[in-house]
Structure 1
């Protein structure tokens, strides 16, 4: 009927509620992206560097570059 009272809209605190939800979502997304970067990029890169330098010899590398002719001033 015409005398029924409609529920009021919850406008008070709407921005604060939305911001709270979005801040929590942004925090969780940023943690997820950081974890994906760490385990998808940083850890494999560290392992690749460790594997490379495990058997790396700078003297041997220098001699190979000298043979190829990279250092023309060195005989």
Structure 2
């Protein structure tokens, strides 16, 4: 008779047990990724757009494009 017997493997409920672990892990990883994206990408982008449009003059930009000959409908003077 062998000195050390191996324990029997768990056969019932193994998928459900592993599924709980992996679903919780996937939820935590996806929440972390979404939070990281929001604060590392989306918020700085919003601030950059707000800063750009705070000092943006569309008529000045239009006149500069017209003077450069970029617009075909508005010939330069």
Common fold: TM-score over 0.5 = yes
- 2:49 is the alignment partner of 1:49: yes
Q: Residue 25 of structure 2 aligns with which residue?
A: 25
Aligned to 1:18, the other structure's residue is in SS state: helix
Unaligned runs of 5+ in 2: none
CA 1:9–1:67 in 2, change beyond 3 Å: closer, same or farther? same
Could you say which residue in structure 1 is the equivalent of 2:37? 37
Give the SS at the match of 2:50.
helix
Per the alignment, do residues 12 and 69 of structure 1 end up closer, same or farther by CA in structure 2, a change over 3 Å counting? same
Between the two proteins, the alignment pairs up a number of residues equal to 74
Q: Find the aligned partners of 1:33 and 1:68 in 2 and give their Cα distance.
A: 44
**Unaligned runs of at least 5 residues, structure 1:** none
User: Normalising by structure 1, what TM-score?
Assistant: 0.85
- Write the deviation string for residues 15-43 of structure 1: whole angstroms up to 9, x where unpaired: 00001100000000000110111011100
Once residues 5 and 13 of structure 1 are traced to their aligned partners in structure 2, the CA distance between those partners, rounded to angstroms, is 23
Query: Could you tell me how far apart the structure 1 residues matched to 2:37 and 2:67 are?
Result: 40
Q: Give, in angstroms, the shift of residue 61 of structure 1.
A: 0.5
Displaced runs of 4 or more, over 2 A: 4-9
